[in-house]
Structure 1
Amino acid sequence: MFKTLFSTLLLTLVWVLNNIAYAEPPTLKNMLSAEEQLELDKTTSTETLLIDEYDRGSPRASMEGFLMAANQADYERASHYLDLRNLPAKLKDVAPEELVRQLKIVLDRMLWVDLHALSNSNLGLSADGLPSYRDSVGKIPVGDRMVHVYLQRVPRKDGERIWKISNATIAQVPAMYQQHGDGPLGEYLSLYLPDIEVLGLESWQFVMMILLFLGAYIFLWPIFWLLIRFGQRRDPESDALPRFISGPLRLLTIVLVVRSQFELLRPSLEARAVAEGQTLFIIAIAWVIVAGLELTRKRLHQKLISREREQGALLLRPLFNVLKILVMLIALLIWLENLGFKASTMLAGLGIGGLAIALAAQKSVENLIGAITLYVSTPVKAGDFCKFGSQTGVVEEIGLRFTRVRTIDRTVINIPNATFVDLHLENYSEREKIRYSPAIKLRLDSRSDQVQTVLSQIKSALISHPLVDEAPLRVRLKDFGTHALEVNVLCYLNTIVFDEYLEAAEELNLQILKILEENQVAPADLTQYRVVNAPL
């Protein structure tokens, strides 16, 4: 049941995501760059424009003046930028200020006015295919047709030519506003809400956005209630899965539903540019991935602990922390790309600084890889007694950078993991049994029958000891040495506890010594004497 619900939910999310469509707005970077370029043009322009009270000497100056006045809600001043001559009779009773308000709302939502693209000359653009007295600002869709927004050069009262928004465009304002304006609901809510505007969104649009989120939460509540209950039943001892469902997964789903209905708000192009950054969506996706990684880490941790692989369990947290950081960095880069900034250019801009960081982190990365190798292959683990290189000691801790070893002299050595993993490692703690092979040397004057009896009794003593393994078990007269008869003894004691081995070896050594005494066979005396002035 859970798999079916979860699969259905994911397919629904993918369908919603693929069917989200916005008008192509400029990115936030485009808007910022256009403003910077416009300011630069103002400081570098050398052309002398017509002196006009409202600065209507060029298409760019006139459009900029209109937008500035409209954005400041100075609709009376903004009306001076409209060509109100020869309008249809149905517009005679509409106040110029109301036409300004409606046109501003339509432009905010449907047309990004790139002032830098407009001519800053008294004569306007000459190679645009339009009459010399007319320049185009852009086009706005109305039904199945496009309405052109024109600037037109018209005579002032004193006969001088100035630029205004064309009366042909003004005549289409009611039709454009009917399709792209606030609508009945927006008009109604605007009567009771304060006149506040942020990113081109009015107060009623913020209220609608809150209602959208609330509606999405209520609509999805039964589905997530079932999923959370299933998660609780599946793992009653842990709340990790229910928290993952109720937190990041719920947020992502709500964001996708709200995004699919975003056009109900009739957002401005500024709001769309911010929405195209997908800030909340990227946060939700990143949270889902990070929370999913944490959920996976906890599951793996439980499995490793149940298999008594504590060292591997300790490594999971730093490894998954690195993965989480990578996820957040990737999310940040995607967000910057969506805003119109070139993330690749920004990364390349790090230049020498990034190279220096990479070089500085080289050893740390090597040690981290060494730690991963030690945890995965586990040649040694904490508590093991081993020989590494020329040193011998007990491994106390395998960290991300160093392996801590306490030597038999009780000193502590911290060895970088990258170095430690390349050393010749001999792990004594991995022995399943310990070899017993004493060096027995008998006097050269020992008789053969005595030696044969000694060998037989030593073998019997080994066989009768409870810790001696059945095979291999060997007691042989190995060789005639220069000063002694060499007896080879080889067997294994079934213990991995070194104190038990020492106790058993002591018992066997005493038995062998007793056997030699009973058979009147003495160990060889290997002491060398220097004889001076001995008689020949």
Structure 2
Amino acid sequence: MRKAGRILLLLLIAAIFIALSATAFMLAASTESASRVRLDWAHMANISAERVLSPADRSSPRAAMESFMNHMKEGYERLLKAKELVSSAPGLLHQPPEALEEAGRALYNFERAMHVLDLSQIPQVVRLQNARENILLLKEILDRVGIPRYDQIPGAQEVEEQGLVRWTIPKTEIRLHRVESGIDEGRWLVTPASVAELGRSYRRVRHLPYLPGATENAYEYYTASPGAFFPPKWAYFIPAWLTHRTYGQALWQWSILIISSILFILLLLAVRKLSFKISEGRSPVFKQLLKLTAPFSLALGAIAMVWVIEEQINITGTLYLLLINVLTAVEWLGWTWVIVRAGELLAELIILSPRIESGSVDASLVRTLSRLASIAAAIGILMFGASELGVPLMTLITGFGVAGLAVSLAARPTLENIIGGLILFTDRSVKVGEFCRFGDKAGTVLHIGLRSTKIEALDQTVISIPNADFSQMQITNVSRRSKALLQKTINLRYETTRDQLRWILASIRDVLHAHPKIYADPAPFARFEGFGESSLDVLIFAYVKTKKWSELMAIQEDILFRIGEIVEKSGSGFAFPSTTAYIAKDDGLDKEKGAAVEKEVQQWREEDAYPFPDTPLERMSTLLGTIKYPPKA
């Protein structure tokens, strides 16, 4: 009952942990395009639902430019008003509700301004931050070079009459195009190519003076301030010397970035070290559960770092793109690692079932199949993560197909080993803990893995055999035999007489029938097998009551000792394949012993107790259990 309760507790903990992982994963994996370009504003209660949901007017180049300029101007003015309200409020962290409301309205305007940009070619992970920067860059450019009067920009009527599909802002290379398909079909947006060049165009015109009515230094202020457009109250207390820009970022931004990165790394190391320490001496399930903490911390830590970079210290420019791409890759690698570890945890939870032994072939099969399934899921997550970074899905599929073909050719032995492992699991020829013979070696199976099988040989060395080779070997599973076989051939000298041979055979059979460690059924036997090159060959065949190899050797030793005594007593001897040169006179065989044995055999004939071709049942019954085993010292 206690064991069942422990299993249920572990299952509950694992389910909660996996559910939290899945929840965080789903939050991180949200791919709705709108969520990536909408700003987080919650203090907009006074804006009507119609205005909140209605997009910016982009029906023509004139409508798009007018909508963009008006939203940027109105948003910047509201943002300045919100900052004045915050700076005049007391306290270090307090922000007046009026300031938050004005900031929310400003964010609404900035979001509508983003609608003028075609962001379809920008990866999802950087789309929001890219849109923030690009609307400010576009406004900075137009505030310096100017735009024509709105009545000089093509409207809906001119577009229809002239059949326009593109329009270029005068004095610039910024183009607007009419979207031909998708959710923005028929709307006029700044082309993806022009969006990509806004940073370069800004650097070319930033030395020019502002035109009247411009929102001066909006971009510079945004890149040096924390938060998204509307900085927190503590930003007003940053010393002036910390706002000095170095390599595109302020000194305070560099400082917080470095500190956050160090804390992130230290946290990962601490979690890894702590999980290793706690897992010592724990059950396999608990160890697998702790192994989830490191990848889970890696993924969540990467998400936290992205939040700090985007929403708090507001890193911008090339550094932002580099950090976000790296952290996003780390995040997806973390989720991939979580899936692999979760698969291993699931396998251990399944093995907790009383029907599956921990070291059995079923347990190895569960672990292998779970690992293959988790690897397949991990590959899917990696593909999804790569698509989030801007890699086209079809390119990924094609790339994985080509890579898969290359890997299958280059890693053919590895694939053969995996298939060999599955064959071993399916055939169940051996399992962990069993003793087997293979080729010219023998040993105990320690582990059947995905690629290789580990066997502990008789000399205590560990042999690692690729599954592809092991599955094709002739494997003798010694542990699964119901009884052990004793089969030996002894070689007697040719000088042995026929009656001596008969007495030796009968005496050996008596020993086999009488021995308590020899099975009576099937009956053991000793037979004259044939005439060898230098000996008379006698075959001894019996099944021993043991499955252990060491005990078999002990019983075999005892029987061989007794056979040696029988041969010696008969006056015969063992032959050996060699040539004997008699330099001295040979006394030959013991004639007295030979005569005594022949007399006893003659007595068998006279008393009708001749034990050939088989031992009579009466003789067997009198012999049964007369030998004491183990023998006395």
TM value normalised by structure 2: 0.41
Q: Quick check: which one's strand share is greater?
A: 1
TM value normalised by structure 1: 0.46
Query: RCO higher in 1 or 2 (8 Å CA, sep ≥ 6)?
Result: 1
